Amino acid sequence: MIRVNGDLFTVEDHAKLDPTTVSTYLKEILGTKISTDLNQSIDMDYSLNVEGIARFRVNVFAQHHGLSAIFRLIPENPMTIEQLHLPKQIKELATLKQGLVLVSGPTGCGKSTTLASIITEINRNQRKHIITIEDPIEFIHTNDQSIIEQREVGIHTKNFQTALRSALREDPDVILVGEMRDLETISLAITAAETGHLVLSTVHTQGAANSIDRIIDVFPPNQQAQIRTQLAATLKAVIWQQLLPTKKEILPGVKRVGALEILMNNHALRNLIRKGNTHQIDSIIETNRKMGMQSMEHALEELLQKGLISQEKHDEFLPDRLEI
């Protein structure tokens, strides 16, 4: 099966794969080292580069019928903010000198693509030292105005925490952390943002307010007041992203576009975070559109007005806001 613009299709001109054929294919594709690792674990996540053909993010796993694998295509070159039709506010985030920027949303909504476009924007226009910590490395960046060093967890470093500690001693300007997974990674990322670095990362949440709550809730209750204070000071922006089918191609072969909720930090937001009143964040977004904030409802309406999405998709992706 292949997924094209969000929909699954059967590959009609290829026979169904039996368990033996799947295992043989994977061993041929993955090589000796990976095959050995697979014998020791029933789950693997890594990147695969097929020279002259394509680059993939691969997950191999065992299931009831045997081994399975998912190959997610990664474009050879990261797309720019303009190519992705992202709002101008995203380009402004690339000019930040320090602080924490989070991109949230479900798996497959384009979080990594958005972060890669920000890295590309910095690389094209600023002389910076950029370190990425990924699991696995997805987009490959080529040095332009900046120096970019990409590290893969499990190959170039033991884990996110070790790489982040090292990064603080490696004189970076920008640190990309593939995912905020656990307390230690989140704590180190906030520390890096506090000490003068621009830190970019992702969280699996729906809504800008929920992203802040998720970060805080990772910590035990006796540490949450301190984390609220740190987060209020370091957080620069939260982007919640959804990926929608479009009515027309925005790039050759591409018929999906991102709808982005954008939360920027200001005095009012800092107060809400410190006091634990994150349930009021939606109203902050609505009353601060002049400074670049944007609700998901507004983002969807704009895509509808531009003729990029249908009324049906607009209604389907509208968030279900709970009144508190």
Instruction: Tell whether 128 is covered by a domain.
Output: yes
The CA distance from 23 to 240, in Å, is 38
What gap in Å lies between CA 248 and CA 257, rounded to an integer? 10
Last residue of a domain, one of 51, 74, 97: 74
Query: What are 151-199's pLDDT values in tens digits?
Result: 999 889 999 999 999 999 999 999 999 999 899 999 999 999 999 999 9
Q: Which pair of tokens denotes residue 315?
A: 């209604």
Residue 323, pLDDT > 60, answer no
Q: Which residue has the tokens 């204070």?
A: 229
Q: Could you tell me which residues are beta bridge partners of residue 101?
A: 200, 237
* Residue with tokens 């954008």, as numbered in its chain: 262
Same domain, 156 and 237: yes
Q: How many CB atoms lie within 10 A of CB 220?
A: 9
289: helix, strand or coil: helix
pLDDT tens for residues 83-115? 888 999 999 999 999 999 999 998 889 999 999
| pTM of the full structure | 0.88
pLDDT digits (tens, 9 = 90+) for 220-267: 999 999 999 999 999 999 999 999 988 887 767 778 889 999 999 999
Assess contact for 201 and 74: CB atoms under 8 A: no
Pair 58, 106 in one domain: no
Report the phi/psi class of residue 250: left, alpha or beta, with left for phi > 0 and alpha for psi in -120 to 50.
alpha
Q: Identify whether 87 is preceded by a cis peptide bond (ω within 30 of 0).
A: no
Residues 121 and 173 in one domain: yes
Domain span at 53: 2-74
Q: Do 36 and 164 belong to one domain?
A: no
The CATH number of the domain holding residue 53 is 3.30.450.90
Each residue of 204-228: pLDDT tens digit?
Answer: 999 988 999 999 999 999 999 999 9
Total number of domains in the chain: 2
